[in-house]
């Protein structure tokens, strides 16, 4: 059975495709768009191993997913799949592929390529970053050359939200230095310099139309101040994740902001294997001043986060919450008997001062927020020590548990509207290191329930446990911003921050 909300997908596909093939007024062909990339190495050449949003920009240029979530219409739009059917019991998803799509090496995109791509991602012996997104799947089959069916283990109403972050690669190129995609651009191997830059050239046979740009260059510029100077000078066209406080100055110079975010959040994550006492965790939760962080570190770009369900949606749970209350934090610590006996401002536990390891990423807003939280915790008597690391080393440090607490930003799909990505033990970026079987069971029960009211009940219980057990300290629903120079046009950004439809980008 095709659910009614998908019934118009074929019509939408035709309208969308017609829009893609008709140039908008003023678009010109040619030129190279330069993107500043804040890291010490360029993104991976393999679209299926990308582990962060910046790298997934490149994955989205190099190849396509089956479908894509559209912020404006709050629905899924066809990409490699022109339409899809969902069985009445919710266990079988059948995708009908677009005819005539080519990989960059001239091989056609078929159901077999999709099946092998998905099987590669979830390979039990060597799973890739997106393996968790396919964890609901039991079997994958090619029904015919242009039809793929995914059979789920149990009902998962939000399964389509997982599919739009899985990119298809030509199976014959698995294991090579430059796996082959079917996107609007392809990586130029001779210009892939891991510690400098990478260049992508247009794929003229792209199914949605020849790209306007000739090339896209991704240049390593780790320092944000340097990247913004180059943006102002015109040697860079796009800078990812600019600071909110810089927007007024940049806009006055003609720089264009792209503000995005829905289920994008930041919180103080807590290593549950190290910070085991719920009283200390609850004190941390009440010590964090959400609004001060937004105003002081993010230029006012964001909203306070008091609970895990997104405000104004069916998953907001007004019955639980965590607001800034330093008096409550001090009360909890007092009752626990953790006092500052030597009067240096830091309390002791069993005769030893509280000193939590608090690593951070060496990016201005991240460092600023971490230092502000350090001071907030100190004001209630909790000591911390901070270290700084580059982007990916820091991410991996937190993911593998080398921390006590950390300021952590996450982006997730728009549905369901709840901040749970880092709590699902099946996910690559599950960072909390603790055994939470009750929480995990509730998450999986919610995922496998078709009835919205019953799902909401499970998710509300998840929120209650997260707050009562203080598994993390909610911080902010963050709105983030990419900025582009006055000559760059056409960039569209999903709520997660990934830019898409690169064939429609142009300079002029």
User: How is 85-98 classified by DSSP, letter by letter?
Assistant: EE-TTS-EEEEEEP
pLDDT at 416: 87
User: How is 161-172 classified by DSSP, letter by letter?
Assistant: HHHTT-----GG
Max mean pLDDT range (228-232, 263-267, 362-366): 228-232
Q: Residue 289 pLDDT more than 60?
A: yes
Look at 7-16, 381-390, 496-505 and tell me which has the smallest mean pLDDT: 7-16
Cβ–Cβ < 8 Å for 284, 328: no
Helices (H), 7-158: 9-21, 53-62, 111-121
pLDDT at 14: 34
CA distance 47 to 56: 7
Q: Tell me if residue 330 falls in helix, strand or coil.
A: helix
pLDDT at 188: 98
Cβ–Cβ < 8 Å for 496, 411: yes
Q: Tell me if residue 339 falls in helix, strand or coil.
A: coil
CA distance 372 to 177: 43
Q: Residue 171 pLDDT more than 80?
A: yes
Look at 9-18, 392-401, 408-417 and tell me which has the smallest mean pLDDT: 9-18
Residue positions counted in the chain: 508
CA distance 122 to 128: 6
Residue owning tokens 């005769």: 351
Pairwise pLDDT comparison (337 vs 164), residue with the higher score: 337
Domains of the chain plus CATH, in order, are: 4-15+27-219+481-507 (3.40.190.10), 264-478 (3.10.105.10)
CA atoms 243, 248, 251, 256: torsion sign: positive
Structure tokens at 106: 């001239």
Q: Residue 102 pLDDT more than 50?
A: yes
CB atoms within 10 A of CB 219: 18
Q: Residue 318 pLDDT more than 70?
A: yes
The pTM (predicted TM-score) of the whole model is 0.76
Q: What is the pLDDT of residues 36-94, one digit of tens each?
A: 998 889 999 999 998 788 899 999 999 999 999 887 787 899 999 999 999 999 999 99
CA distance 48 to 53: 13
User: How is 458-496 classified by DSSP, letter by letter?
Assistant: HHHHHHHHHHHTTSEEEEEEE-EEEEE-TTEE--EE-TT
Confidence class of residue 199 from pLDDT cuts 50, 70 and 90?
very high
CA atoms 240, 246, 247, 250: torsion sign: negative
**Burial of 119: CB neighbours in 10 Å, binned 0-12, 13-18, 19+:** middle
Q: What is the pLDDT of residues 425-478, one digit of tens each?
A: 888 889 999 989 999 999 999 988 888 999 999 999 999 999 999 999 999 998
Cβ–Cβ < 8 Å for 287, 274: no
Structure tokens at 360: 């951070």
Structure tokens at 169: 């690669």
DSSP assignment, residue 193?
B
Per-residue H/E/C for 371-412: HHHHHHHHCCCCEEEEEEECHHHHHHHHHCCCCCEEEEEEEC
Sheet holding 238-239, edge to edge: 185-187, 197-202, 215-220, 32-37, 238-239, 480-484, 256-260
Q: What is the pLDDT of residues 121-160, one digit of tens each?
A: 999 888 887 888 898 999 999 999 999 999 999 888 889 9
> CB under 8 Å to 337, separation ≥6 — which residues?
none
Structure tokens at 494: 């999903």
Look at 127-141, 282-296, 370-384 and tell me which has the smallest mean pLDDT: 127-141
Phi-psi region of 308 (alpha: psi -120 to 50; beta: other; left: phi over 0): alpha
Pairwise pLDDT comparison (370 vs 243), residue with the higher score: 370
Q: Residue 8 pLDDT more than 60?
A: no
pLDDT at 137: 96
Of 502, 494, 505, 499, the residue nearest 69 (C-alpha): 494
pLDDT at 22: 40
Q: Tell me if residue 5 falls in helix, strand or coil.
A: helix
In DSSP terms, which residues pair with 219 in a beta bridge?
Answer: 36, 197
In DSSP terms, which residues pair with 339 in a beta bridge?
Answer: none
Confidence class of residue 95 from pLDDT cuts 50, 70 and 90?
very high
pLDDT at 9: 31
Q: Which helix (H) or strand (E) holds 334?
A: helix 326-335
**What's the mean per-residue pLDDT of the chain?**
91
Confidence class of residue 25 from pLDDT cuts 50, 70 and 90?
low
CA distance 126 to 57: 24
Average pLDDT for 345-362: 96
Direct distance between the N- and C-terminal alpha carbons of the chain, in angstroms, rounded to an integer: 47
């Amino acid at each position: 059975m095709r659910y009614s909300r998908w019934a118009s997908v074929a019509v939408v596909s035709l309208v969308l495709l017609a829009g893609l093939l008709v140039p908008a007024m003023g678009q010109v062909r040619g030129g190279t768009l330069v993107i500043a990339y804040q890291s010490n190495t360029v993104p991976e050449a393999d679209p299926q191993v990308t582990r962060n949003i910046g790298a997934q920009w490149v994955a989205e240029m190099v190849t396509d997913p089956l479908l894509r979530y559209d912020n404006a219409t709050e629905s899924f739009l066809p990409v490699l799949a022109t339409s899809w059917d969902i069985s009445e019991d919710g266990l079988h998803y059948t995708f009908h592929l677009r005819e005539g799509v080519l990989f960059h090496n001239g091989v056609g995109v078929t159901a077999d390529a999709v099946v092998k791509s998905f099987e590669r991602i979830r390979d039990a012996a060597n799973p890739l970053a997106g393996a968790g997104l396919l964890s609901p799947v039991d079997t994958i089959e090619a029904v015919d050359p242009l039809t793929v069916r995914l059979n789920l283990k149990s009902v998962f109403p939000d399964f389509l939200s997982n599919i739009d972050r899985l990119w298809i690669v030509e199976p014959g190129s698995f294991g090579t230095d430059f796996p082959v995609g079917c996107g609007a651009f392809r990586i130029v191997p001779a210009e892939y310099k891991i510690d400098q830059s990478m260049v992508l050239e247009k794929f003229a046979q792209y199914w949605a139309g020849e790209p306007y740009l000739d090339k896209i260059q991704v240049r390593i510029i780790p320092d944000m101040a340097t990247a913004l100077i180059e943006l102002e000078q015109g040697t860079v066209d796009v800078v990812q994740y600019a600071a909110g406080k810089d927007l007024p100055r940049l806009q006055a110079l003609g720089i264009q902001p792209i503000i995005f975010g829905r289920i994008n959040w930041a919180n103080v994550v807590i290593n549950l294997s190290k910070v085991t006492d719920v009283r200390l965790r609850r004190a941390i939760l009440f010590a964090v001043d959400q609004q001060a962080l937004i105003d002081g570190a993010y230029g006012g770009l964001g909203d306070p986060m008091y609970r895990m369900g997104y405000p104004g949606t069916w998953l907001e749970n007004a019955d639980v919450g965590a607001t800034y209350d330093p008096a409550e934090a001090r009360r909890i610590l007092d009752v626990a008997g953790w006092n500052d006996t030597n009067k240096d401002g830091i309390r002791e536990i069993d005769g030893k001062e509280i000193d939590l390891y608090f690593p951070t990423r060496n990016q201005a807003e991240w460092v600023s927020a971490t230092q502000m939280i350090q001071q907030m915790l100190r004001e209630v008597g909790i000591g911390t020590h901070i270290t700084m690391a580059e982007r990916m080393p820091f991410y991996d440090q937190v993911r593998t548990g080398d921390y006590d607490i950390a300021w952590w930003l996450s982006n997730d799909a728009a549905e369901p509207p709840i901040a749970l990505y880092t709590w699902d033990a099946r996910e690559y970026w599950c960072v909390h290191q603790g055994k939470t079987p009750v929480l995990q069971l509730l998450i999986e029960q919610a995922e496998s329930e078709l009835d919205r009211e019953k799902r909401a009940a499970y998710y509300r219980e998840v929120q209650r446990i997260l707050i009562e057990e203080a598994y993390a300290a909610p911080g902010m629903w963050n709105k983030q911003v990419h900025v582009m120079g006055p000559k760059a046009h056409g960039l569209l950004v999903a709520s997660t921050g990934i830019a898409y439809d690169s064939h429609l980008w142009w300079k002029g």
